[in-house]
Amino acid sequence: MNQESLERANAFLAFVATRTDPGGALDASPAEIGRHVGIEQPLAAARAVRALLARRRLEADGSNYRLLDARPLEPGEPESVTRPPRRKPSGTLGSGPGGRTVPTYSDVGHVAIERLIELGREVATLRAGARAAKSEARESRLSREDAERQAETLSARVQDLEAKLEMAEQNMRALLAAAKGTDRGEQIAPDNEMDAILGVLKGPA
């Protein structure tokens, strides 16, 4: 605070002290008191009041002011009431170079939540696809195992039939050879050979 401002603030304080005691309220506006002490500009009167408030000579009481201490201000006297630091609007990250507006925490959070929702949907879709693929693979495995069992059964049946067919062919050859060795080609084969042939052709009971 320069000397001129100091003198204005002390003149303002001295006039207030003549009108009220410490603890009392000012009975006039700062602009009116300023005019009484020769401070014609309302802005200069406001600066004097601000200097007195900062050094605990005055106290704001709603829309009025109250006298706390009538001692004059000393040159170089520091402020006893520190001004609160200017705070940026809640949630802002500040401005970027060239005055470019930086997204707020709320904007970032909104984008992050939307991305998480999208990722959740993608994960759910992938899980459903994985379950469907596992189900199809299980059904395919069961079908393959069933087909393999059927193939094994059919293969065994074919082998059995081939064996019976070979046996029947051998018996027929033996029967024909026996018939050629007799005097009459139409002679009937012995009963045991005929039973064997019939048993082969009929298959298991």
Query: For 3-67, which CATH class?
Result: mainly alpha
Q: 93 to each of 71, 85, 103, 132, 188, how far by Cα in Å?
A: 45, 17, 7, 46, 113
> How is residue 136 written in tokens?
């199809």
CA distance 78 to 82: 10
| Contact between 33 and 15 (Cβ < 8 Å) | yes
| Contact between 13 and 52 (Cβ < 8 Å) | yes
Q: Which parts of 20-104 fold into alpha helices (H)?
A: 30-36, 42-54
Element (H, E) at 58: strand 58-61
Residue in 120, 140, 13, 107 with CA at minimum distance from that of residue 67: 13
Tens digit of pLDDT per residue, the chain (205 long)? 788 888 888 898 899 888 888 888 888 888 888 888 888 888 888 888 888 888 888 888 777 888 888 889 888 888 775 555 555 544 444 445 555 566 676 777 778 888 888 888 888 878 877 887 887 788 888 888 888 888 888 888 888 888 888 888 788 777 777 776 654 545 555 556 556 665 665 555 4
